[in-house]
Amino acid sequence: MPELPEVEVTRLSFVDRIASARILSAVMGKPLRWPLGCEPAALCGQQVLGVRRRGKYLLVDLTSGLLMIHLGMSGSIRFGFDLPPPGKHDHFELVTDLGTLRLHDPRRFGAVVFAATENHPSALKLLGRLGVEPLTGAFQVGTFHLALKQKKTSIKQVLLTGGIVVGVGNIYASEALFLAGIRPTARAGTLSKPRAGRLHAAIQKVLTQALAAGGSTLKDFSSASGNSGYFQLEAMVYDRAGLPCKICAKPVKSLRQGQRSSFFCATCQKP
Mean of the per-residue pLDDT values of the chain: 92
Burial of 170 (0-12, 13-18, 19+ CB in 10 A): buried
Rounded average pLDDT over 160-180: 95
CA distances from 32 to 4, 88, 215 (A): 21, 13, 24
Domain with CATH 3.20.190.10 in the chain: 4-125
Task: Give yes or no for residue 217 having a pLDDT over 60.
Answer: no
Rounded average pLDDT over 65-82: 92
Q: What percent of the chain has pLDDT over 70?
A: 93
Give the separation between CA 62 and CA 94, rounded to whole angstroms: 12
Question: Could you read off the pLDDT of 173-210 as tens digits, one per residue?
Answer: 999 999 999 999 999 999 999 999 999 999 999 999 98
Give the separation between CA 121 and CA 6, rounded to whole angstroms: 27
Task: Give yes or no for residue 2 having a pLDDT over 90.
Answer: no
pLDDT of residue 231: 66
CATH architecture of the domain covering 4-125: Alpha-Beta Barrel (3.20)
State pTM to two decimals. Answer: 0.90
Give the separation between CA 95 and CA 44, rounded to whole angstroms: 9
Catalytic entry in 8, 11, 53, 56 = 56
Confidence of residue 226 (pLDDT cuts 50, 70, 90): low
pLDDT of residue 223: 45
Quick check: is 121 catalytic? no
Catalytic entry in 2, 5, 106, 184 = 2
**Ramachandran region, residue 257 (left: φ > 0; alpha: ψ -120 to 50; beta: rest):** beta
Catalytic entry in 17, 33, 52, 260 = 260
Domain with CATH 1.10.8.50 in the chain: 141-264
Pair 47, 21: CB distance under 8 Å: yes
Strand partners, 244: 251
Confidence of residue 215 (pLDDT cuts 50, 70, 90): confident
Quick check: is 260 catalytic? yes
Task: Give yes or no for residue 146 having a pLDDT over 60.
Answer: yes
Pair 158, 164: CB distance under 8 Å: yes
Quick check: is 31 catalytic? no
Other CB atoms within 10 A of residue 202 CB: 19
Say which residues have a Cβ less than 8 Å from residue 105's Cβ, sequence separation at least 6: 32, 71, 72, 74, 75, 76, 89, 91
CATH architecture of the domain covering 141-264: Orthogonal Bundle (1.10)
Per-state percent for the chain, helix, strand, coil, to nearest 5: 30, 25, 45
Strand partners, 66: 61, 115
